[in-house]
Amino acid sequence: MDSLRGTLTGETQAASLPLMDAEAHHLRAAPETAIRTNNTRAAYLLCRAAVRWWTIRGLTSDGRNFVTRALALPPLLSDNAESRRLQGELFVAAGTMARSQADYPAAKQWRETAIAYFQRIGDANGEAGALGNLAIVAHLQGDLGQAVQLSEQGLVIQRTTDNRRGVASFLQNLGNHYSHAGRHDDALRCHRESLDLRRELGDSDDIAHSLLNYAAALDESGDAVAARVYAEESLRLMQKIGDIQGAITVLDNLAVLSGKQGDIVAARGFLSDALAQIDYEKAPQDVADLLRTVSTVLETSGDRLAAVRFFAANIHQCRKAGFMPIGREQENHEREALLRAELPAPAYETACLAGENWTLVEAIHEAQILLAKSPRN
């Protein structure tokens, strides 16, 4: 199984993912057995082999459970370079999965553990990777200054060690930090360099994510038309390699971009496709993000009561998950004021209460029904 791990990058990725899908039972049973028998080395190797598959297939809960339990096992008896690197990679993986589930305190703790660990064993690339992921956590918690500082520090390390894949990753993250800080020229420069480098390296999944992030930066800079072109290219790649979670994110972004261009039919189609693929139990935050976009698209279509219901459902699910993106509270206050101004107070309150009381399953079902109808405008 570890031999398949190396094929989950580059041109072999699309062919290798189905092979790992076919081994799904073993990808659960093998690490479970290793953990239960306190076989630390086997647990580490099995988890490392499956991390990228878990991530691409959206199986974050499974992956986080196995990795966290593996790291709680007795330490490895051997203390060679391979064993030390192996443990460090799992520290990073634990942080990544915690972050993807919006568990930022845990993500930060794992990242800091990874940084200290890599510094202790003298692994510069490992340290840089952990710095970059800690920067993402800082960004998500609203500390853009620290995010930029950590990413710039990591980028220097990656350039020094000539880790081209690491350089591309840091450039992408820096582009995102700069974009949210309003430094659009710097953001676009970083994303272009990252995309060019990833095209040279040939990893389809990395290229797809660079395209998506470049599209977001273009949108932030005011160029929604170009953003949609890059996002559509990203979607084609995500679908080709079978990155379900990535494709859902792109579909959500494409719905937003299409709405901005007045293409409501396309926006509805993108959202319907995303909702049909998502696993609400394993990705509740992704569902919450989609509900927000559904609200916006339905408002543009003229159904303001439905827009309020899905707006309320989004806020409720975000608070339930303990996740609220940067600047979102202010955006919510502004959006609430606009929606209240368009409806009588009793109608607004009734619609709001209905959305807050939906379960995720009910919200998805209602969204699919409404999106299938023809838009009013």
Express each pLDDT in 316-365 by its tens digit.
Answer: 988 876 666 666 778 889 999 999 999 999 999 999 999 999 998 899 99
Q: Where are the beta strands (DSSP E) in the chain?
A: none
Provide the phi-psi class of 323: left if phi over 0, else alpha when psi is between -120 and 50, else beta: beta
User: Is residue 209 situated within a structural domain?
Assistant: no
What pLDDT sits at residue 299? Answer: 92
Integer Cα distance of 227 and 222 in angstroms: 9
Per-residue tokens: 204: 């389809």
Q: What is the pLDDT of residues 267-302, one digit of tens each?
A: 999 999 999 988 766 667 788 889 999 999 999 989
Structural domain contains residue 207: no
Number of domains in the chain: 1
For 79, other C-beta atoms within 10 Å of its C-beta total 9
Residue 52 and residue 13 in contact, taking contact as beta carbons nearer than 8 Å: no
Q: Rounded to an integer, what distance in angstroms lies between the CA atom of residue 108 and that of residue 3?
A: 30
Domain presence at residue 314 = yes
Q: Is residue 368 part of a domain?
A: yes
**Any domain includes 175:** no
Contacts of 16 (CB under 8 A, 6+ apart): 4, 7, 8
Residue 7 is predicted with a pLDDT of 46
Q: Which residues of the chain have pLDDT under 70?
A: 1-15, 78-79, 280-283, 321-327, 374-377
Question: Residue 327: its pLDDT value, please?
Answer: 65
User: Which structural domain, as residue segments, surrounds residue 347?
Assistant: 264-377
Q: Which are the contacts of 255, defined by CB distance < 8 A and separation ≥ 6?
A: 266, 267, 268, 270, 271, 274, 293, 297
pLDDT at 58: 73
In a domain, 318, yes or no: yes
Q: Is residue 345 in a domain?
A: yes
pLDDT of residue 271: 96
Q: What is the pLDDT of residue 309?
A: 97
Domain membership flag for residue 173: no
